[in-house]
Amino acid sequence: MEDRMIERDSGVATTRYKAIAVAIHWLSAALILSQIVIGLKFADMPKGSEKMDVFSWHKTVGVLILLLAVARLAVRLINPPPPFPADFPKWERAAALWMHRIFYFLMFALPITGLSLVSERAVGGMTDLRWGLKFPAISLGPVGEAHELLAWGLIGLLILHVLAALKQQFFDKTAVANRMPPFRSTRR
């Protein structure tokens, strides 16, 4: 079975992502990096009010990531990603495509499993967030270990994604670097 994202290409020219997709990409990146820092800090803190304050931020950022993932998926369905340039090898296209699919899965799975964890203590079917906001509780049963494994998987995938982007920008210098601003191909 062929995947049109792997088979299709833009020829010699490079088509860039639309501005809305770029904005959502970088906002997602900022929130995910923040969430990793908050999650790692929270995990190492002793019990107490400071830990609960950090945990409140962790829940709030998680919900923001979930809501942004919904918006991101909607934008992606309305504005499909640009085709890969012709000089981008098919095996790397497949790897990039599957990396993005796993990212999408994780941007939904992590917040949902996190919400399930805090839903046990939810009052009135809602969980408390920062700024007095509330979000509906979601109960999936015991998902603590799954949430942690997914988080480590996200960290590994994020590192792989950044390394692949740097490889394309600085070593391979293919036109694929042109797809996501602010990057530009440095090929001469």
Average model confidence (pLDDT) for the chain? 87
- How do residues 23-50 score in pLDDT, each as one tens digit? 999 999 999 999 999 999 988 888 888 8
Q: Where are the domains of the chain?
A: 17-178
Residue in 38, 63, 64 with CA at minimum distance from that of residue 52: 38
Q: From CA 186, how far away is CA 188, in angstroms rounded?
A: 6
| Cβ-defined contacts of 73-77 (< 8 Å, 24+) | 73/104, 75/20, 75/21, 75/24, 76/21
Q: What pLDDT shows up at residue 13? A: 67
Report yes or no: 141 and 182 within 8 Å, Cβ to Cβ: no
Reported as a single tens digit per residue, the pLDDT across 137-178 is 888 877 778 999 999 999 999 999 999 988 888 888 777 877
Q: Look up the CATH number of domain 17-178.
A: 1.20.950.20
Res 98: pLDDT: 93
Confidence of residue 1 (pLDDT cuts 50, 70, 90): very low
- Using the structure block, give the residue that is written with the tokens 């692949």: 164
Phi-psi region of 187 (alpha: psi -120 to 50; beta: other; left: phi over 0): beta
Angle at 136 between CA 152 and CA 77, to 5 degrees: 65
Q: Position 14: which residue type?
A: T
**Has residue 130 got a pLDDT over 80?**
yes
Average pLDDT over residues 67-71: 96
User: What's the rounded Cα separation, in Å, for the pair 81 and 88?
Assistant: 15
pLDDT at position 37 is 95
Does the global pTM surpass 0.75? yes
